A and B are shown apart, each in its own frame.
Chain A
C-alpha cells in the first residue's frame, strides 16, 4: 500500500511572522502591596492581540501576572482592562498598529471597580447592579402560549443592540457618573434594563421604569457618552439610557428630580441648540436650593467647565441638533407600543 503517513502532519503549522512588543503593565499584588509598573518585551506573531502578549508573558516570563481570559474572541467578557487609560477587551486589541507607530502601551486594570490583583478587578459590585435591575423577563402574569410568543422582526429589533452586551464592564470602567456616585446603576445594568423594558413580551414596564427613575438611576447619567465610545460590542448604553428616559416620560414618571433635570436639558437644547448649563441647576432643583450649589458652580467655573452665563450662548446652526432630536425621538418613545400596533415609528411629543 502507498505510504500516506505524510498526511498526518501539516507543513508550516507553527510558522508565524513575528514581531517584538513592549508593554508596561501595572502590577499590584493585593491588599497591603504597593502598586508599580513593570516593563516586558515579548516576541509574538504579527497578528497578536494584547491578550496574546499577556499570555506570552505569563507562560514564559512571569507566572505571577494575573488577568482574566477565556474565549479570546470578544464574546465572553472576561478580559476588560485599560490600555493607555481607556477600557478595552484585551482579546480584541491588535498590537501591530502600536508596534508600527513605535508606541509602548501601558496596561492597567479597569476603573470604577476595586482592584484584586494586577489586572483583575472585583466584579461583585458590577454583578450586584445587574441583579438590581431585575434581569429577567416578567410577562406580568400573562400565560405563556403553547408554542412561542409572537414577536415580529421589527419588535425584536427594538432590543437588538442591548442583546449584544457581554457584561464586560468596559463601559462602567469609564463612566463619569460612577466615579462620583459608586451607587449609580451604571451603563451596563441600564442597558440590560432596557433589554427588558423594550422587550414586547415583558409586562412589567411601569414598575421597572419607576425603579429606574429613582435615586442612582437613569437620571444620574451625565451623558458623557464615554460608555458608547468604549463599548467593544456596539451596545451604546447611553442610547439605551436615553430610551429608558423617554419611556419613563411616557409613563408620566417626571416627578423625580432627575426627570426634571432632563426636561430642562431637552427644552434648552431644543431652543438654543446648546445645553445652557447655567440654567440647569436652578431649573432642576429650584432657585433657592440652587444657591447652595453656588460653591460647586464656582469650583467648576474655576476649572473652566462653566461657560460665561452672560455671553450669548447659541449654536450657529441648531438644525443639526433638531435633526438629532428627531432621530432620538423616533428611536425611543413608546417604541414598544408603536411596534406592537404596527404604526410607523415617528414620535411627536416631547
Chain B
C-alpha cells in the first residue's frame, strides 16, 4: 500500500491486488513498534541505528541498504504521522519511543500494543484518499514475463471466480512472509510465501532463504505471539523443575537476551526433556494482579483466549515459533529485481537489511521505507520510459485458465490440508531452531516427496464462488516451493549465523560464509549460488550482548 500511494502521488496509474481486503493483512498483527532514530527519548542517530542493525544481522545485512533505511526512517515516520497514524506520545506531545531488544537507544515508536494495526489502517485510509483502485480478494496465481520484462499478473477472483489478466508495466510484490510452512508460527493463515514463489517461478532468485527467525514466546495451541514485553516487565522463563534456565546460556541478560539465544535455550530444555507438555513456562505470577492488568492486558487476554490460562494465577506454556523470514526475493536498494519491471518490498523481499537475524521493530520500518522507495522508483521509470509494450498474450491467460481449471477439478489422492500439515511438522521437526546435516538432508528429501504429492491433490469445492479450497491448494504450492529453497539453503550453509544454528558447525565462518545464498529455479528444482555482502564501514565483530 505504501508503494501504491507513492506511485499514485507521482501521477502514475496504479492498482493494488490483494488476496485479502487490505486491512486484513498480517502487518496488522504487529504489536511492538517501528524503529527510527528520532532521538525523542534519548540521544540517538541513524548511525547508531545502522550499527545495531548490522550487528544484529550477524554481518549478513548489506550495509548500504541498512544505512539507507536508518537515514530515511525518521522522515518516513513523520510522514506516517502526518497521514494520521495514531502513535503513543510523551507528555509534551512528541512521539514516544521505547527500548527494544539489541537497540542502543529507546528507538521504537509505537501505538500501545497495536502498532501494526494502526499502520495498516492509516495506509488504507490513504488508499481511499488517493482513490486507488483495489482488486480486493484477488489471488495472484502467476506473474507474466513477456520478452524478459514483467507484463503484469494473472489473478483469480476469490469471490466470484475466474482468472483475470491484469496488465502492468511494473509489478511490486508486497505479499509478506511464509511462516505458515512451520507448524508453530506466529504468522497468519495468509502468510504462505506466494510472492516469493511467484518471483522464483518467474526466474528471480530467492536470497538467504535459510534464515527464519523464531520467536521465543508463542502459544502451543495456535502459535499466537506473547510479546517480549512480558519478559521486559520482569517475567521469568522456567523449566519443568521450576528453574530459570536462562541462567545457563545468558547469566547476565537472563530472559532479556536476544531472541535467537532465548529460543535456543528454550528449545534445548524442551528437547532434553525438561519441558512441560512440549513447552517451557512463562511465569508472570510474581508480577502481581495489578501490574499484569495495567501493563500487559493484551497478553493476558491472549493467554486466556487461546491457552485457557490466567497468567495472574498460572504460568503460560510457551515455545519458540517461526516468526519472521529474513530471506526473500533478491532485490536492490530500490526494490528492483533482475527481471525489469518486477520489484519487491516488505517481508517478501530481501534487500537485505536484516541479514541473518532481524531486530524487533525493523521490519515494519523496512516495509514503509522500501515500500515507498519501490513506489517512487517504479513511478519514475514509468514517467521516463512510458509504456514498455509488455503485454499479456491471450494464450497465456488461456493457459492459466486451463491450469486453474484442472486444479479445480482435481480428484487426485490427497487433501491440501493433509500435505500442509505434514509439511509444517517436517519443517518444525527438521529445520527448526537447531539444525544438523543428517536431519536437514532428511528434511530435503521429505520436502521433495511432499512437492511430488502436492502435484496430485483432491479439491472438494468445485464452485467458482468463494472457493477457499482452491486458494488453499494454490497457497500450498507456494509454501512447498519456499520450503524447498529454505532447506536446500540450510543444508548447504555449514556455519552458524544469526537464526541459522547448526549443531555440527557451531561457529560463524566469515572466511567461507559471509555471503548471500541465492536459490534459483532450475526447471522446478532449486539451484544454489552465492553473492557477496556489501560492507561499507563495519567489519565483522563477535556478536555478543
| Residues A10 and B224 in contact, CB atoms below 8 Å apart | no
> Known: A58-B417, A201-B84. Contact between A75 and B92, CB under 8 A?
no
Beta-carbon contacts of A61-84 to B below 8 Å, as 1s and 0s? 011101111111111111000000
- Note all chain A residues with C-beta closer than 8 A to B434: 4, 7-8
- Note all chain A residues with C-beta closer than 8 A to B77: 148
A130 to B124 Cα, complex, angstroms: 11
**B8: Cβ under 8 A from any A Cβ:** no
A120 to B504 Cα, complex, angstroms: 50
B463 CB to nearest chain A CB (Å): 7
A58 to B470 Cα, complex, angstroms: 12
Beta-carbon contacts of A43-75 to B below 8 Å, as 1s and 0s? 001111100100000111011101111111111
A11 to B318 Cα, complex, angstroms: 14
| Residues A7 and B271 in contact, CB atoms below 8 Å apart | yes
Beta-carbon contacts of B452-494 to A below 8 Å, as 1s and 0s? 0000001111010111110000000000000000000000000
* B26, B278, B430 pick with most chain A CB within 10 angstroms: B278
| Residues B89 and A151 in contact, CB atoms below 8 Å apart | yes
**B394: Cβ under 8 A from any A Cβ:** no
A190 to B275 Cα, complex, angstroms: 49
| Residues B129 and A13 in contact, CB atoms below 8 Å apart | no
A48 CB to nearest chain B CB (Å): 8
- Note all chain B residues with C-beta closer than 8 A to A71: 24, 26, 28-29, 188-189
Q: Which of B141-149, B303-311, B349-357, B527-535 faces chain A?
A: B303-311
Checking A10, A150, A156 against B319 with a beta-carbon cut-off of 8 angstroms, the contacting residue is A10
A152 to B87 Cα, complex, angstroms: 11
B258-275: which have CB < 8 Å to A?
A: 267-268, 270-273, 275
A60 to B183 Cα, complex, angstroms: 17
| Residues B189 and A69 in contact, CB atoms below 8 Å apart | yes
A60 to B419 Cα, complex, angstroms: 12
| Residues A76 and B26 in contact, CB atoms below 8 Å apart | yes
> Known: A58-B417, A144-B82. Contact between A116 and B89, CB under 8 A?
no
A160 to B118 Cα, complex, angstroms: 11
B504 CB to nearest chain A CB (Å): 8
Residue ID in chain A nearest B421 by CB atoms? A59
> Known: A116-B159, A137-B83. Contact between A63 and B469, CB under 8 A?
yes
| Residues A163 and B25 in contact, CB atoms below 8 Å apart | no
* A9, A116, A127 pick with most chain B CB within 10 angstroms: A9
**A326: Cβ under 8 A from any B Cβ:** no
| Residues B439 and A75 in contact, CB atoms below 8 Å apart | no
| Residues B126 and A136 in contact, CB atoms below 8 Å apart | yes
| Residues A117 and B466 in contact, CB atoms below 8 Å apart | yes
**B91: Cβ under 8 A from any A Cβ:** yes
Checking B29, B84, B306, B417 against A59 with a beta-carbon cut-off of 8 angstroms, the contacting residue is B417
**B81: Cβ under 8 A from any A Cβ:** yes
Beta-carbon contacts of A139-182 to B below 8 Å, as 1s and 0s? 10000101111111101100110011011000000000000000
B240 CB to nearest chain A CB (Å): 11
| Residues B84 and A92 in contact, CB atoms below 8 Å apart | no
- Note all chain A residues with C-beta closer than 8 A to B26: 70-71, 76
Beta-carbon contacts of B74-114 to A below 8 Å, as 1s and 0s? 00011001111011111111110000000000000001101
> Known: A70-B26, A116-B159, A136-B125. Contact between A11 and B271, CB under 8 A?
yes
A4 to B504 Cα, complex, angstroms: 8
B465 CB to nearest chain A CB (Å): 5
**A96: Cβ under 8 A from any B Cβ:** yes
Checking B112, B308, B503 against A4 with a beta-carbon cut-off of 8 angstroms, the contacting residue is B503
Checking A66, A72, A74 against B466 with a beta-carbon cut-off of 8 angstroms, the contacting residue is A66
| Residues A13 and B183 in contact, CB atoms below 8 Å apart | yes
- Note all chain A residues with C-beta closer than 8 A to B188: 70-72, 76
Checking A47, A58, A116, A127 against B469 with a beta-carbon cut-off of 8 angstroms, the contacting residue is A58
| Residues B306 and A47 in contact, CB atoms below 8 Å apart | yes
- Note all chain A residues with C-beta closer than 8 A to B375: none
| Residues A150 and B94 in contact, CB atoms below 8 Å apart | yes
**B438: Cβ under 8 A from any A Cβ:** yes
**A94: Cβ under 8 A from any B Cβ:** yes
B427-441: which have CB < 8 Å to A?
A: 428-430, 432, 434-436, 438-439
A166 to B270 Cα, complex, angstroms: 36
> Known: A13-B428, A70-B188. Contact between A163 and B118, CB under 8 A?
yes
A66 to B471 Cα, complex, angstroms: 11
B270 CB to nearest chain A CB (Å): 5
> Known: A58-B468, A72-B224, A76-B23. Contact between A9 and B429, CB under 8 A?
yes
| Residues B88 and A156 in contact, CB atoms below 8 Å apart | yes
Q: Is chain A's interface secondary structure helix, strand, loop, or mixed overall?
A: loop
Residue ID in chain B nearest A200 by CB atoms? B93
- Note all chain A residues with C-beta closer than 8 A to B467: 66
- Note all chain B residues with C-beta closer than 8 A to A10: 267, 270-271, 275, 278, 319, 428-429, 432
| Residues B94 and A4 in contact, CB atoms below 8 Å apart | no
**B392: Cβ under 8 A from any A Cβ:** no
**A287: Cβ under 8 A from any B Cβ:** no
| Residues B277 and A5 in contact, CB atoms below 8 Å apart | no
**B253: Cβ under 8 A from any A Cβ:** no
Residue ID in chain B nearest A116 by CB atoms? B466
**A125: Cβ under 8 A from any B Cβ:** no
**A296: Cβ under 8 A from any B Cβ:** no
Beta-carbon contacts of A1-40 to B below 8 Å, as 1s and 0s? 1001111111111111000000000000110000000000
- Note all chain B residues with C-beta closer than 8 A to A85: none
B132-188: which have CB < 8 Å to A?
A: 159, 183-184, 188
**A307: Cβ under 8 A from any B Cβ:** no
**A199: Cβ under 8 A from any B Cβ:** yes
Checking A49, A77, A117, A127 against B465 with a beta-carbon cut-off of 8 angstroms, the contacting residue is A117
A60 to B91 Cα, complex, angstroms: 54
B205 CB to nearest chain A CB (Å): 27
> Known: A5-B503, A11-B273, A52-B222. Contact between A29 and B24, CB under 8 A?
no
B90 CB to nearest chain A CB (Å): 8
- Note all chain A residues with C-beta closer than 8 A to B125: 135-137
| Residues B468 and A66 in contact, CB atoms below 8 Å apart | yes
A60 to B25 Cα, complex, angstroms: 26
- Note all chain B residues with C-beta closer than 8 A to A9: 271, 429-430, 432, 439
> Known: A70-B26, A71-B28, A78-B20. Contact between A120 and B221, CB under 8 A?
no
| Residues B278 and A15 in contact, CB atoms below 8 Å apart | yes
- Note all chain A residues with C-beta closer than 8 A to B190: 70
| Residues A59 and B415 in contact, CB atoms below 8 Å apart | yes
**A123: Cβ under 8 A from any B Cβ:** yes
Checking A76, A135, A144 against B24 with a beta-carbon cut-off of 8 angstroms, the contacting residue is A76
| Residues B461 and A63 in contact, CB atoms below 8 Å apart | yes
| Residues B28 and A76 in contact, CB atoms below 8 Å apart | yes
A202 CB to nearest chain B CB (Å): 8
Beta-carbon contacts of B282-314 to A below 8 Å, as 1s and 0s? 000000000000000000001001111000000
- Note all chain B residues with C-beta closer than 8 A to A62: 460
**Top 7 nearest A-B pairs by Cβ distance?**
A63-B460, A59-B417, A137-B84, A150-B93, A12-B278, A47-B221, A136-B125
A-B contact pairs, 18 of them (CB 8 A): A4-B434, A5-B438, A7-B267, A9-B430, A11-B270, A12-B278, A58-B469, A59-B418, A71-B189, A76-B188, A77-B23, A118-B466, A123-B21, A130-B128, A136-B83, A148-B82, A152-B89, A153-B91
